Amino acid sequence: MEYKTGAEFAKRLDGEDPLAPYKGRFYIPERETLDMGGKTRSVKPIIYMDGNSLGLASKDVEEEMKAEFERWKNLTTRRSGIDKKAAEYQAKLVGAEADEVVVTGGASINIHALISTFYNPKGRRTKIIGDELNFSSDIYALAGQIRLKGRDPEKDLIVVKSRDGRTIAEEDIIAAMSDEVSVCHLPSVYFVSGQLLDIKRLTKAAHDHGIIIGYDCCHSVGVIPHRFHEWGVDYALWCNYKYMNGSTGAIAGLYVHRSHFGETPGLPTWWGNSPGNRFDFKAEWTPTGNAASWHLGSNLGIGFGVSPVYASSKMIVDAGLDRIREKSLKATDYLMFLIDELLSEKPYNYSVGNPREAERRGGHVAVEHEEARRISEALTARGVLPDFRPPTTIRLSPIPLYTTYQEVWEVVQHLKAVVDNKEYQRYDAKKKEAY
């Protein structure tokens, strides 16, 4: 597509956007913010570019949470079947069969639950492949699970290195695969650079070596369609409060390929016991014959944390994940175009740090700038909410269901203005942490 730099063009894209009506179903907070000149303050809706960290609240979720309160009042929670329906919607979003997904736990707990199931060091096969750019919970969990099996992460954890500090080459992961490896655990999308791994290719390579492979999909579920079952992915997990907009207390999701249904989870619970035995409270645990075996207790599998996941998953399925990915790619493409055209030269010096190809990137643009932290603060004062990742990345994520092309265009004008007016220099240069 041929993009143009003028504001009219953004309006045209919005006019042609089939997802535009969804914005009205979200709550966009208002804040007192600086105007384009950087001087006058007024109260306006924010431009929210951080939906990849925490999705916005929707009316759909609000109504379902209220409905859950009614169900609690009337003691009908168990009868509602919301937990199964939520899992069915989530299965559609990841390309799984309905009984391969459960809504349970949290992302970090689910990493532990799945690795503790699939990492069974035996004979020569004692190692786990991870990588140095994955999210911290994943890195901690891999070492922790190796220690829990009485082994040493120094010997058994293979950490694939990045060549450029931002991305991991699939070839390097594949080169680490051997008959000494039990499990390979990777992200779908890297949370800083936005790189999307080739899941199909890596899964096939792992299986060629007899390795179990699983993915942390916190940065892709709800914005990128997956085909886990068809590709034979062994397991996956994700949170539901980022692109899923499932609320701050949203229960997470996990997927286990049906070929593993007979296995005993590393963290078996009474709620994951086969339903016929659930209330027997016998010493012996029996598999459910589907992914429900991996339930992490009733409290993390039904009720308040699950009802918003039901509503937000339904909304994304109804809107159409393919249409969501299409808009996400177009809006991020447009954002990269505007940065390249308007902000790549002196005195702006912004650059794009994520891979460019559509099949290699997720739902956010990683804008690189030496002054990323102070620029992020200046943007926030202007009512544009980005996400700063130390040391030099500003993550900007246009969310297909509630970000307009007009807003993408405006964000670029703000990125320009905070440099033109030297507004970022008002902030403390020494602070290092995320704010």
Report, in Å, the least distance between residue 119 CB and ligand PLP.
18
Q: What mask, x for binding ligand PLP by CB under 6 A, covers residues 101 to 120?
A: -----xxx------------
Nearer to ligand PLP, 218 or 311 (CB): 218
Pseudo-torsion of CA 60, 66, 71, 73, nearest 10°?
180
Of these, 88, 99, 216, 234, which contacts ligand PLP (CB under 6 A)?
216
What radius of gyration do the chain's Cα atoms show?
23
Expressed in percent and rounded to 5, the helix, strand and coil fractions of the chain are: 40, 15, 45
- The CA-to-CA distance between both ends of the chain, in Å, stands at 37
243 scored as a contact of ligand PLP (CB under 6 A):
no
Coil/strand/helix, residue 234: coil
Residue 239 contacts ligand PLP per CB under 6 A: yes
The nearer residue to ligand PLP, 47 or 250, going by C-beta atoms, is: 250
Under rule CB under 6 A, which residues in 365-404 are in contact with ligand PLP?
none
Nearer to ligand PLP, 25 or 185 (CB): 185
Q: Which is nearer to ligand PLP, 134 or 288 (CB)?
A: 134
Using CB atoms within 10 Å of the CB of residue 42, give its burial: 0 to 12 exposed, 13 to 18 middle, 19+ buried.
Answer: exposed
Token digits of residue 276: 């016929």
Cα separation, 238 vs 106, whole angstroms = 8
Nearest to 367 by CA among 187, 193, 196: 193
361 binds ligand PLP, rule: CB under 6 A: no
User: Quick check: 187 binds ligand PLP (CB under 6 A)?
Assistant: yes
Size of the site for ligand PLP (CB under 6 A): 12
Q: What is the nearest approach in angstroms of ligand PLP to the Cβ of residue 191?
A: 4
- Site residues for ligand PLP, 119-178, by CB under 6 A, read 135, 137-138
CB 374 to ligand PLP: min, Å = 25
Alpha-carbon distance 185 to 278, whole Å? 31
In terms of C-beta density within 10 A (0-12 exposed, 13-18 middle, 19 or more buried), how is residue 91 classed?
A: buried
**191 part of the interface to ligand PLP, by CB under 6 A:** yes
Which residue number, 110 or 273, has a Cβ lying nearer to ligand PLP? 110
Beta carbon nearer to ligand PLP, 166 or 219: 219
Alpha-carbon span 222 to 193, nearest angstrom: 18
* Site of interaction with ligand PLP (CB under 6 A): 106-108, 135, 137-138, 187, 191, 216, 218-219, 239
